[in-house]
A = this chain, B = another copy of it.
Amino acid sequence: MKEFEYSAVMEEFEQWKAQGLSLNMDRGKPCLEQLELSRGLLSVLDFDDCVADGVDARNYGELSGMPCAKRYWAELLDVRPEECFVGGSSSLNMMYDLVAKAWSNGLLHSPRPWSQEERVKFLCPVPGYDRHFRVTESFGIELLPVKMAGSGPDMDEVERLAADPQVKGIWCVPKYSNPDGFIYSDEVIRRIAALKPAAPDFAVIWDNAYCVHEIQGDYVPFPDILKLCAQAGNPDLVFEFASTSKITLPGAGMAVMSASEANIKYLSKLMGAQMISCDKLNQLRQVRFLKDKAHTLELMKRHGEILRPRFEAFLQELEEQIKPLGIARWTEPKGGYFISLYTAPGCARRTVELCKEAGLVMTGAGAAYPYGKDPEDSHIRIAPSYPALKDVEQAAKVFCTCLKLATLENSRK
């Protein structure tokens, strides 16, 4: 900490400011080169070949989705087609809908709708995905943070908290967790599947957002949580979600919910009041373009090749500039869209503020915590996917300057 001088760092910072930069690493948005990989998507559908398994994708019907789309997801997630409800373009929307249904009608094993409970609480592994937390927050559900480790959420804590019948569920991103990029260990997954919560309608929301999203190394196979839950006597505990937003085109992909057949049946009945069918043409478009798991994994390698240098560029700058100073630690994920960086306590918000002053927009500090409040004020989410590589390189330098400056300011207080 003493090896860098305030005046030198301040000068660096002023130089960045003078450049009038406009860099953005706010969200996990795929970059233009990644979009290019889906160029063929828009022309893959032939108007005269839109009937599959006897279902005309160009007309109403098939609430739970095109059969070929269910088979596609079943292979990708290692579940059965009957366990898949293929929806619209947004898996977040499907997760929201699940909570909304719990709120208005209750889930399969609910004694009453959640809106009629005195109080509802939800477990939020932290740091986590801000939009998950916001879903539950928007219903007035109380958010309880649970610490994440490299192997997943602190399961002792999860088991302890789940003994409270007001605790109705947990948010999980089991593979390349947002934002740490951790993969839940087999032991953690086993304990989640075997959870015995006090609430009979406890819901594990298993957002497998990055199920095939490697950036380093080979595809990492992943256990079928549905089967593990069933084996543990909890067949209806889990709701798994995924989408092709970061496989084809963001916001225009195909989302899926996978759950026990009993859950799918129960929820389909409720969803029958909500819609006639989702956009089956887009489902067919996605399946025609992505074909199957093998073809999807090939495509994901190309995504990985585009993302890898961006992650490496940022990590390398941290390695060179920050590691010798020992003022922060960070994750080095092999997949997903984010790097987590932990500053000294009290420095995250200021670092992000300084970045903004220097023309670099980062995810708001604290965003990865319930109610946007990081009690340590030490976590920063880094999203290197969207900017061009040269911009990531520059952003990394700007970031290092700001991190150093914030740390120095803090140590002078």
Which residues does A use to contact B, with CB under 8 Å?
27, 29-30, 35, 38-39, 42-43, 45-47, 56-61, 88-90, 92-93, 96, 100, 103-105, 113, 115-116, 131, 134-135, 137-139, 245, 249-252, 270, 272-282
* Complex: A59 Cα to B253 Cα, angstroms: 10
Give the contacting residue for A273; candidates B105, B137, B270, B273; CB below 8 A: B137
Distance A138 CA – B245 CA, assembled complex (angstroms): 31
Complex CA–CA separation, A92 to B271 (angstroms): 11
Known contacts A115-B113, A252-B281, A282-B279; A138 and B89 CB within 8 A of each other: no
A-B contact pairs, 11 of them (CB 8 A): A35-B58, A42-B46, A59-B249, A61-B251, A88-B88, A90-B276, A92-B275, A96-B273, A115-B115, A138-B270, A251-B278
CA distance A276 to B252 in the complex (A): 11
Inter-subunit contact B138/A105 (CB<8 Å): yes
Instruction: Looking at the assembled complex, report how far the CB atom of A239 sits from the nearest CB atom of chain B, in whole angstroms.
Output: 16
Q: Is the CB of B42 within 8 A of A45?
A: yes
Interface centre among A96, A135, A249 (most CB of B within 10 A): A249
Closest B-chain residue to A31, C-beta based?
B59
Please report whether the interface of chain A is mostly helix, strand, loop or mixed according to DSSP: loop
Cα(A30)–Cα(B131), bound, Å = 38
Known contacts A38-B58, A93-B275, A251-B276; can you find 5 more A-B pairs with CB under 8 A? Answer: A35-B56, A35-B59, A42-B47, A90-B275, A138-B270
CB pair B35–A93 under 8 Å, yes or no, is no
Q: Taking A138-B105, A138-B273, A279-B88 as contacts, is the C-beta distance between A249 and B58 under 8 angstroms?
A: yes
Query: Given A105-B138, A282-B279: A60 and B250 within 8 A (CB)?
Result: yes
Please, how many angstroms separate the alpha-carbon atoms of A43 and B42 in the complex? 7
The CA of A374 and the CA of B270, in the complex, are separated in Å by 23
With A30-B59, A60-B27, A115-B115 already in contact, the answer to whether A89 and B88 are too (CB < 8 A) is yes
B274 pairs with A93, CB closer than 8 A: yes
Please state if A251 and B273 are interface contacts (CB–CB under 8 Å).
Answer: no
A302 to chain B, nearest CB (A): 16
B contact residues around A27 at 8 Å (CB): 60
Q: Whole-angstrom distance between the alpha carbons of A27 and B27 in the complex?
A: 43
Question: What distance in Å separates the Cβ of A403 from its nearest Cβ neighbour in chain B?
Answer: 27
A100 partner residues in chain B, CB cutoff 8 A: 100, 104
| Contact present for B251 and A59 (CB under 8 Å) | yes
* Chain B neighbourhood of A135, CB < 8 A: 273-274
Separation of A184 and B60 alpha carbons in the complex (Å)? 27
Asked whether, in the complex, the Cβ of B113 is within 8 Å of the Cβ of A252, the reply is: no
Nearest residue, chain B, Cβ from A115: B115
- The answer to whether A29 and B59 touch (CB under 8 A), given A89-B278, A273-B134, is yes
> Is the CB–CB distance between B60 and A274 below 8 Å?
no
Q: How far is the CB of A288 from chain B (nearest CB, A)?
A: 11
Given A273-B135, A282-B279, residue A252 in contact with residue B104 (CB < 8 A): no
